[in-house]
Structure 1
Amino acid sequence: LVEEQVRNFMTAPSGRRNTHPVLIISYETFRIHSKLLHSSPIGLVLCDEGHRLKNRENQTYLALTGLQCKRRVLLSGTPIQNDLLEYFSLVHFVNEGLLGTAQEFS
């Protein structure tokens, strides 16, 4: 049911791709249906609770980095909880390469 709703959302009534869709979706639902969303270019990805993306190896982070998008924005009240590598992961997600590689940053 959710996959059908996402597919309908991405398609305008004319049958063409929706050019300026706004989709509000949980991390969990996105991860489950990420393959469907990866097939369309997206202008902006806005992630609330951005601290959930502090681990560059978790499934959600990997699924989100696979999106074709022009801009990425993270919102977080707690960007750093344990160490600076978490901060690196967040900045890397938003602007890949800005801080170099993880090894260079360490």
Structure 2
Amino acid sequence: MKSVETRKAELEARKAQLTERMGQIASEFETHESKDWEEMATEREGDEVLEDLGQAARTELRMIEAALERIEEGEYGYCTVCGEQIAEERLDVVPATPFCRNHASGH
């Protein structure tokens, strides 16, 4: 069983990774200079993928920040719906989850 301090360190490390990734995505958008229509179309397809990756990173960052707040409040590891303890195995897979297995499907 991992300690809350270990979970917090893992969440903060993941947060740093995501923040770096978002910076890389932002810089990739700034490097587009193509004037050729074909190249612009290819870049646009790549931009759509980058936008999706950026949105996924933002969503995960929000979840991590909320989990870090729950740690500070002493509520981490407990379902925000029913208050039951979240299974250790679930936290291993989704460390920022605010829901137990029973309530995860509804959200």
Asked whether the two chains share a fold, i.e. TM above 0.5, the reply is: no
Q: When you count helix as a share of all residues, which structure comes out higher?
A: 2
Q: When you count strand as a share of all residues, which structure comes out higher?
A: 1
Q: TM-score, with normalisation over the residues of structure 2?
A: 0.23
Q: Which has the higher contact order (CA 8 A, sep 6+)?
A: 2
